[in-house]
A and B are shown apart, each in its own frame.
Chain A
């Protein structure tokens, strides 16, 4: 239907509601996103708190594990020294050979220092003693001691050396056996598969605040030294006082101290414990809490992706549902405001739209139309033809008035048009075009049947605001004009202003050659029309209706009430031409 292609602005005003849907959708979306943000934030806080507690506990366990590993190494040295003491060897060479026999490849080197300070080791190893003051470390063995890590000249890697006191020469003499390990052996002890390289382990000297890394994510840093006061510069400023207090307590050799701080937004837990075999030394373990969070963050990201997909699916579903709903709603709305046959507005919708149009205050015209002898069409050609006529008539009105007006089927064969009007001439012209087009309507394919039947209409027009300033009064005026048209023989139109202007239509076209007669139902709806017992007639020519300002009827309906044939129309025509008094 044309109506579907061409949106009527007044009809659009009757079908509103899309905006509220989008607003609701946006609000729902924002609420959803807000809820997600709150959820994620709460999740993060929970995980962060949990991780901080857990990482502290892991640090404690790791430092104890590291300390136990060092203890194990020193216990090994102690046990070996005990065995050596039990052997109570006299010869220093025998002691050295015995010690060498202990080394099955587990140690980098093994040897001893006799009670005079003589070192029994490879020549290259002897140099290390002097270079790193290892004799001093040996003297601290009670019964064991451990050197600070140092870079071995022999192996080119950081190493540590354990010392253990032993007796020889009838238990009268004391010496120190030593075993050297790679520092990375400690690293291997400290590594846990579950935490990979995220756990950082250092040995820290309380006196100097020097730290050497044994394990960690940065392979460059393993085995290298730094100082805790320099490392402190990387810590977030707000945590520096706490860190400084922690350092002071370490330097005071306090026991088992934990701390937490942030570096560039990453939260770290750090814990240290004393190494019993290395006086003044601590094992320090640090773990970034985000290591633990990483797994949960992955889970959180999965949840986020799931929610995003869910949201997308919901949006698509809602959009589809809305589309369907809108289509249905539009259809229902259309059905509720349109006449289903012709697509013209129904009476209720017309009243609403007409009120809106008149509220603009523009000059307008309201025209009532009535198809002449419609009942005969139904009777003679069938109801399908009647329906076809109604549709064709509606289309004719739409073609001529729809640009600036609204069209309604008021009931049966009655139509009403309300159109904005620049002047009366334009409306009159439209009416003339309607007359011509309606006359040319063919009811069916049988040309013979069509040939003797002329379709016509009667119309009455009233002006707003000249004739009436409200819709109800305007309709009455137009109805009166229609009534007058019918009274004067139908097949024509009349302006209301001509009804009471004292200038009655001068003449109504006379018709002759009445071929058939039938009565049209006289009943009218409401009070808008008075029933007319119209007679069928032979119409005069429509071609004679030429004046722009003319309001006239095309044919006078004889009282006999018979159907008029076109062939007769062409034979006898009398014209009644009447000029409008005002020219409007």
Chain B
């Protein structure tokens, strides 16, 4: 009787384990069967026989930011007489989907590939493979952990953060703050793990520690809205209650910038200077308003892809650039620079 019970117990455990394994493998099979969520290549311009074929692979198809990049590639294709095809993933972390697109581009006989890698480590081997085949490979927006690419056009976010800090200090001075009076600046990030955001934050701190007056401090109570604008608004309200001497707020990317602008606008805190990123409606309205002091850092993503296409053509013509990384930089937009031709040109593409 006892043996029977023990046998039954052991068998049930085995059965349970087998059931779990089966369930797991089924889930894996289902996930594999579902496949990557990708948008296959489509021509961006009119395809002409005999023209070179350049393939652009973007990180996120349904995005205004990436649409500007696509537009840049399309314009460069039209201007330089090359066929430009575009494909991409619908999830920004789907590097497997991009691997499939790379294979498709190679199979279609791509003359050059412009890639914005979803994963700088996982796709390094694929980039090396393209490079080893003698096909020009140009990276845009994001670098990769390899040297086997021809050139990368992207924003150096450390420098962008520094430039944001420079703008904050300038605006604080413009607002009448002097080095004799103490003040503090608050920071809100959209994520704590994003490399881009971390570098913009580090750049800001770096410039500030080297250039700000000693009694102008950055609050170490860094807000993190985790991409949630409503949460960001609440965090801002709480922060301003806790730190009434706040003279400036810095948003490291689009979401936090919107949250900061909304709250400052709602509370009519025109004594607070805002410096952020991108050109959302919220920051635009503050920049345009004569009552507020707001600035934003605009990336030149249009330039990234436009120059990516032209460099790919150069590479196909055996003209090798003398650098591998080009910071396309950011442009500062505020009420004073809003009508600058350079700003107008950048805004035209956004």
Which 6 pairs from chain A and chain B are nearest by CB? A319-B2, A156-B324, A225-B202, A156-B325, A226-B198, A207-B209
Q: How far is the CA of A300 from the CA of B326 in the complex (A)?
A: 52
Q: Tell me if B266 counts as interface (CB < 8 A to partner A).
A: no
From A216-224, A290-298, A369-377, A408-416, the one touching the partner chain is A216-224
Q: Are B324 and A208 in contact (CB under 8 A)?
A: no
Taking the closest CB of chain A, its distance from the CB of B136, in whole angstroms, is 15
Q: How far is the CA of A234 from the CA of B192 in the complex (A)?
A: 9
User: In chain A, residues 315-352, which have Cβ atoms closer than 8 Å to a Cβ of chain B?
Assistant: 315-316, 319-320, 322-323
Q: Are B201 and A153 in contact (CB under 8 A)?
A: no
Q: Tell me if B149 counts as interface (CB < 8 A to partner A).
A: yes
A131-B159, A156-B324, A208-B206 provided; 6 other pairs, C-beta below 8 A? A211-B202, A226-B201, A244-B220, A247-B220, A316-B3, A316-B6
Query: Which A residues are within 8 Å of any B CB, using their own CB?
Result: 122-124, 131, 148, 150-157, 205, 207-212, 219-222, 224-227, 229-234, 244, 247, 312, 315-316, 319-320, 322-323
Q: Mark B175-206, 1 if CB is under 8 A from A, else 0.
A: 00000000000000100100100110111011
Q: Are B158 and A227 in contact (CB under 8 A)?
A: no
Query: How many positions in chain B have a CB within 8 Å of any CB in the partner chain?
Result: 38
Report chain A residues within 8 Å CB of B327. 131, 153
Q: Are B192 and A233 in contact (CB under 8 A)?
A: yes
Q: How far is the CA of A417 from the CA of B91 in the complex (A)?
A: 88
Report chain A residues within 8 Å CB of B143. 151, 156
Q: Tell me if B322 counts as interface (CB < 8 A to partner A).
A: yes
Q: How far is the CA of A148 from the CA of B202 in the complex (A)?
A: 12
Chain A, residue nearest B143 (CB) = A156
Q: Tell me if B152 counts as interface (CB < 8 A to partner A).
A: yes
Q: Tell me if B22 counts as interface (CB < 8 A to partner A).
A: no
Q: With A156-B143, A219-B121, A229-B222 in contact, do A210 and B206 touch (Cβ < 8 Å)? A: yes
Report chain A residues within 8 Å CB of B2. 319-320, 322-323
Q: Are A210 and B202 in contact (CB under 8 A)?
A: yes
Q: Are A153 and B323 in contact (CB under 8 A)?
A: yes
Q: Tell me if B337 counts as interface (CB < 8 A to partner A).
A: no
Interface of chain B: mostly helix, strand, loop or mixed: mixed
Chain B, residue nearest A223 (CB) = B145
Q: Tell me if B120 counts as interface (CB < 8 A to partner A).
A: yes
Q: Are A124 and B322 in contact (CB under 8 A)?
A: yes
Partner of A230, one of B147, B201, B326: B201
Q: How far is the CA of A220 from the CA of B120 in the complex (A)?
A: 7
Q: Are B202 and A219 in contact (CB under 8 A)?
A: no
Q: Tell me if B208 counts as interface (CB < 8 A to partner A).
A: yes
Q: Are A224 and B199 in contact (CB under 8 A)?
A: yes
Q: How far is the CA of A312 from the CA of B6 in the complex (A)?
A: 9
Q: Are A225 and B198 in contact (CB under 8 A)?
A: yes
Q: Tell me if B224 counts as interface (CB < 8 A to partner A).
A: yes
Taking the closest CB of chain A, its distance from the CB of B22, in whole angstroms, is 24
Q: With A219-B145, A319-B3 in contact, do A224 and B195 touch (Cβ < 8 Å)? A: yes
Partner of A208, one of B151, B152, B159, B205: B205
Q: Are B323 and A124 in contact (CB under 8 A)?
A: yes
Partner of B205, one of A152, A210, A244: A210
Q: How far is the CA of A156 from the CA of B1 in the complex (A)?
A: 72
Q: Tell me if B64 counts as interface (CB < 8 A to partner A).
A: no
Q: Tell me if B48 counts as interface (CB < 8 A to partner A).
A: no
Q: Which of B119, B205, B322, B327 has the most CB of A within 10 A?
A: B205
Partner of A153, one of B119, B202, B326: B326
Q: With A320-B3, A323-B3 in contact, do A154 and B206 touch (Cβ < 8 Å)? A: no
Q: How far is the CA of A488 from the CA of B209 in the complex (A)?
A: 129
Q: Are B222 and A230 in contact (CB under 8 A)?
A: yes
Q: How far is the CA of A222 from the CA of B124 in the complex (A)?
A: 14
Chain B, residue nearest A136 (CB) = B210
